[in-house]
């Protein structure tokens, strides 16, 4: 017996939906804990830590709302899905900037490294602002309709992921050599760079839940 168009589609999502809710169920409390720790911290780079925690919490909350709304039968064009998707997109666009802000803190071995690092940071800020503006203004959706590489939403490039990949790897090359100390710090950075590289290498049709959030 087929489902009616208005019937909640939560059962149609099956194991994939439950798995994503489980991921968000872990990610949201961890992001909230991270924000609490950032609020209680002090230091010159406190703003970057706060920004990182806020972006993480905003993304996980908004993406979770998108999934729940879609599973309950809301259309991809409904106000709650579009608004939550916009919040998640902007958080993901700003996320690399907060990490670069953390890496940029501290002394530099030379003046030119500081200048190059400043240029990378400013460029990352401009890129995040442009992506957010393009999303909110509808430019990205227009590009999806007119650019061949973005015509199929399930195979479209995830611009936020590639933006993060580019600036995090570039920032790691500019900010970290000769400045990052400690084995655990290097392990965390390598894990971060490996994770963003793996995310961008997975075809979009393997992650259909990204589509309402990023496009």
Q: How far apart are CA 159 and CA 126, in angstroms?
A: 14
Among candidates 184, 195, 189, which has minimal Cα distance to 174? 189
Quick check: 9 and 73 in contact, CB under 8 A? yes
Quick check: 202 and 157 in contact, CB under 8 A? no
pLDDT at residue 124, as a whole number:
95
3-state secondary structure the chain: CCCCCCCCCHHHHHHHHHHHHHHHHHHHHHHHHHHHHHHHCCCCCHHHHHHHHHHHHHHHHHHHHHHHHHHCCCCCCCHHHHHHHHHHHHHHHHHHHHHHHHHHCCCCCCHHHHHHHHHHHHHHHHHHHHHHHHHHHCHHHHHHHHCHHHCCHHHCCCHHHHHHHHHHHHHHHHHCCCCCCCHHHHHHHHHHHHHHHHHHHCCHHHCCCHHHHHC
- 154: tokens are 């399930």
Which pTM value belongs to this model?
0.75
Q: How far apart are CA 149 and CA 40, in angstroms?
A: 45
Quick check: 97 and 121 in contact, CB under 8 A? yes
What's the pLDDT tens digit per position in 159-206? 788 899 999 999 999 998 888 777 888 888 888 888 888 877 764 444
Question: Where are the domains positioned within the chain?
Answer: 10-214
Quick check: 27 and 74 in contact, CB under 8 A? no
More confident residue, 207 or 28: 28
Name the least confident of 35-39, 87-91, 166-170: 35-39
Q: How far apart are CA 66 and CA 70, in angstroms?
A: 6
pLDDT at residue 128, as a whole number:
93
CA 195, 200, 173, 132 torsion-angle sign = negative
Q: What is the mean pLDDT of residues 69-80?
A: 85
Quick check: 161 and 199 in contact, CB under 8 A? yes
- Report the share of the chain in percent with pLDDT over 90: 22
Q: What is the mean pLDDT of residues 38-66?
A: 85
């Amino acid at each position: 017996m087929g489902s009616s168009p208005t019937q909640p589609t939560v059962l149609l999502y099956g194991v994939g939906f439950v798995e994503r809710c489980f991921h968000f169920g872990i990610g949201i409390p961890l992001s909230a804990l991270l924000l609490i720790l950032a609020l209680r911290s002090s230091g010159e780079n406190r703003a970057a830590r706060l920004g990182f925690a806020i972006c993480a919490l905003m993304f996980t909350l908004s993406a979770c709302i998108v999934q729940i709304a879609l599973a309950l039968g809301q259309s991809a064009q409904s106000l709650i899905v579009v608004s939550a998707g916009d919040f998640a997109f902007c958080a993901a666009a700003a996320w690399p900037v907060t990490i670069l802000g953390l890496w940029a803190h501290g002394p530099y071995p030379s003046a030119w490294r500081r200048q190059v690092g400043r240029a990378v940071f400013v460029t990352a800020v401009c890129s995040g602002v442009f992506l957010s503006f393009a999303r909110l203004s509808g430019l990205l959706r227009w590009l999806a309709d007119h650019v061949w590489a973005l015509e199929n939403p399930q195979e479209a490039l995830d611009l936020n992921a590639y933006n993060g990949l580019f600036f995090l790897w570039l920032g790691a090359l500019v900010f970290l050599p000769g400045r990052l100390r400690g084995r655990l710090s290097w392990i965390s950075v390598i894990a971060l760079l490996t994770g963003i590289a793996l995310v961008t290498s997975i075809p979009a049709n393997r992650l259909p839940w990204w589509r309402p959030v990023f496009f």
